[in-house]
Amino acid sequence: MKFGVIIFPGSNCDHDAYWTIQQVARQPVTFLWHDSHDLQNCDAIIVPGGFSYGDYLRTGAIAKFSPVMESVKKFADQGGLVLGICNGFQILCEAGLLPGALLRNVGLKYVCKPVHVRVENTDTPFTNACRPGEVLTIPIGHMEGNYFCDEATLAELRRDNRIVFRYATASGNVTPEANPNGSLDNIAGVCSPGRNVLGMMPHPERSAEKELGCIEGFKVFQSLVGAMATK
């Protein structure tokens, strides 16, 4: 199995994801250049956080036109595993791989802190190492993390159990106070109909080693490795 981490101009979490996969998960990983169509025979693609193309126009709006994203779309359409983290989530929404959009945070302030997210669906390649309802502590760092979609899309996400993470309290209660950015229905992450594409605003790569203060984000990578091993 082999992971690929995309590098866009302005990416700043690509090396964090690379480190977590190589040094913590102990899996083969390579960088993928934004200006290339070549996914180098990777089995899973990470679209990392940062400020791709300087977040000009709006977050992810330019990155969706990059050659690598054309290949990622084809890869995802064929069932390939794709994880978008923070800016990566924004890019996946802009590219049409996931529904909805990420708006400015309520309060119009950049938010950077550990949050609690409740695992709503463990039947995905990204959460199979978790327990239903498990609460993970994972940091966020974003200005545009306010997830929004129309009523019909929200109903579809709920019906098909595609809301994977929700912001919650440490005890697992989904409350307005636990919502750091105003996201609709406290949504912190959603997946595609085929469950092979996940977008999430929290940064699991920033909570994958004890030196970082928490290790619960590593369960996302642990799940991916397990899913790839059984394919």
pLDDT, tens digit (0-9, with 9 covering 90-100), for 142-165: 999 999 999 999 999 999 999 999
Q: 119: domain CATH number?
A: 3.40.50.880
Q: Residues 182-215, buried b or exposed e (16+ Cβ, 10 A)?
A: bbbbbbbbbbbeebbbbbbbbbbbbbbbeebebe
pLDDT of res. 177: 97
Query: Is 191 annotated as catalytic?
Result: no
pLDDT of res. 227: 94
Structural domain count of the chain: 1
Domain interval for residue 112: 3-229
The band of 52, judged by pLDDT with boundaries at 50, 70 and 90, is very high
Flag whether pLDDT at 53 surpasses 90: no
Annotated catalytic residue within 42, 86, 130, 191: 86
pLDDT of res. 27: 97
Of the chain, the percentage scoring pLDDT greater than 90 comes to: 94
pLDDT tens digits along 85-132:
999 999 999 999 999 999 999 999 999 999 999 999 999 999 999 999
Query: Is 37 annotated as catalytic?
Result: no
Q: What is the pTM of this model?
A: 0.97
Annotated catalytic residue within 93, 130, 203, 216: 203
Query: Is 144 annotated as catalytic?
Result: no
Where does residue 58 rank: exposed (0-12), middle (13-18), buried (19+ CB within 10 A)? middle
Annotated catalytic residue within 94, 120, 144, 205: 205
